[in-house]
Structure 1
Amino acid sequence: MDIEEEHEENEKENSETKVDDTSSKQKKSSLVASEYDNNVMKNNLYKWIINNQHSFTVVKEPEFIILIQSLHSTAELIFADTVKQSIIDLYISNKNQIQELLMEISGKISFTTNI
């Protein structure tokens, strides 16, 4: 069975199954009502790459590009170098914020590792 046949079969099964899920309906309607923001998409992309330890080059994969374009046709794709630099900038910014917070603490702080 190829992918198209499997997709058609899943569509048929989904149309036959009638489940009243108001929370998912509310989520869908809120997604439709909200406007697309490419900056929000980029920030969520950075979080996804960082949290799941994906390569910066995931944005070059054809399947990923198709996925993003299928979610929103006006989504602006970004280059792997841009992703890399943005994530490095986020790291530096967060590191500086943590350093400032730690400098404001009166007293001593000890860090240990349990190897």
Structure 2
Amino acid sequence: MKIYLAAFLAIASLELFNVYIVRGSVGSQIMPLSSCVDLDPAQINIRRISHYETQHRPVKAVIFITRRGVKICVPHDLPWVQDAIQTLDQKNRRRANGRQNGTKITLRPKPATS
């Protein structure tokens, strides 16, 4: 009788494990490494910003990353934020075009020494 009860409890606990863990509960969701909850509306100097990321959850925001690696969360709908994004996109396009047009690097062979 004890063996049947132990087998029943083992099967029931495995079924609970399957329902809550394997199928993906909220606790098993992967959270992003950087997430904005508090937003700073103060304007940032565009020269300090190296690139940006967008975030849609938990709040819609733009994460500006400075040259030193500091992440600053700002609201996505401010006019200066949209201007900064356009400026950064243009700068990145110019860099990409410069790489595609190709500044050829020629290596000169070292003079032969005898």
- Say whether the fold is shared (TM-score over 0.5): no
**TM-score interval (norm. to shorter):** 0.3 to 0.5
**Scaled by the length of structure 2, what TM-score is found?**
0.33
Q: Which has the larger radius of gyration?
A: 2
Higher relative contact order (CA 8 A, sep 6+): 1
Structure having the larger proportion of residues in strand:
2
